[in-house]
Amino acid sequence: MFLVSKFGPKPFILSGIFLGSVGLLTASITNNRLIFSLACIIAGMSPGLSWSPFSDSVSRHVRISLQKRSLAIISTGASLGLGAIALLYILLDGSWQTTWIIGSIVGFLLMIWAKYYIPADHIIKNSHSVNHKLGLLKLINSNTISLFMACILFGITQATYWTYAADFVQQLFSFNNSNAIFYLITGTGGLAGLFAGDLIRLFGFKRSLSITILVYGFSIFVLFYSHSWIFICISGFLFGVTFMLYGAYLPIWSSEVFKHYPAKGFSSSILVMTVGTIIGPAFLGSTINFIGYKWIFLISSILALVKLFFIPKTIEN
């Protein structure tokens, strides 16, 4: 990410928060379908703009012993937000517009807070030339291929789950806000991402990632195996736990592979994962009318377990 090396990560973090807040606010108050679609696209740009700059900012300003824990905490913020939004949606009796307006207000407040508390960078004049050293050869080696394959598989499986699980739940259970309750459970489980750094310290990266992938695949498989409310809740909770753990491991893994250019390396990882998020729902969703929801989740669970073959072998514990 050349612009991060030139201007520092803070402007992009602030821009990501701003676009997310503006997109939510605009989508919640408009009655025009085109404007609504554009607002959703603008809001969707927020994670891409801010996630990798956060990784870069941590590598610049947080001492090494705390970097893994910091990256895990940042990633887990998505889970906290999901749980809070789902709870608010339930309390407001399904008023998504009001929920999004409140979310946008919180976003603007966070942007003001970030402006004053995220450290700015003194740009080194020759940093631009250093960052240009990330070429094609450094993007293609055994470590990066494993990372990128895991990213694309993660993108396919997590996007498929997020896209169709709530609709599946709503189809199975007719009581009010069943999908929001499902998301609340999922978001609550996602708070486990806070402990990603601790798990790595206790068990090592490879073992922690292996366990997470196994449970992640099982959480998706549960939707194929059983359609009872208890099992649905177990699926959501375990998926939230492992999704956020994996989301916390990803910047840690990327920062190890791309030690000298964390922003660019993580941006490349996010780009690859984004390809998966497009492919997954589009391809598997096109088969729903032929095979049904449950078989989509079975396929996704198998793809999730394929990530076990790409666990890094060279990253130090």
* pLDDT greater than 70 at residue 23: yes
Highest mean pLDDT among 26-35, 60-69, 82-91, 139-148: 26-35
Question: How far is residue 317's CA from residue 315's CA, in Å, rounded to a whole number?
Answer: 7
Q: Is 315 part of any domain?
A: no
Burial class (CB in 10 A: 0-12, 13-18, 19+), 15: middle
Task: Give the H/E segment covering residue 83.
Answer: helix 64-91
Q: Is 317 part of any domain?
A: no
The pLDDT tens digits of the residues spanning 217-270 come to 999 999 999 889 999 999 999 999 898 888 778 877 887 887 777 667 777 887
Please give the structure tokens belonging to residue 137. Answer: 């050869």
Asked if residues 232 and 219 have their Cβ atoms less than 8 Å apart, the reply is no
pLDDT higher at 213 or 253: 213
Asked if residues 189 and 239 have their Cβ atoms less than 8 Å apart, the reply is yes
pLDDT of residue 126: 41
Range of the domain at 301: 2-310
Q: Is 266 part of any domain?
A: yes
Q: Is 154 part of any domain?
A: yes
Asked if residues 276 and 193 have their Cβ atoms less than 8 Å apart, the reply is no
Q: Is 80 part of any domain?
A: yes
Q: What is the CATH number of the domain that holds 297?
A: 1.20.1250.20
pLDDT higher at 288 or 220: 220
The pLDDT tens digits of the residues spanning 111-155 come to 999 898 888 765 444 444 444 455 555 667 667 888 899 999 999
pTM: 0.78
The count of domains in the chain is 1
CA–centroid distance for 308 within its chain: 19
Q: Is 316 part of any domain?
A: no
Which of 72, 57, 209, 60 lies closest to 146, judged by CA? 209
Which of 56, 55, 54, 30 lies closest to 43, judged by CA? 30
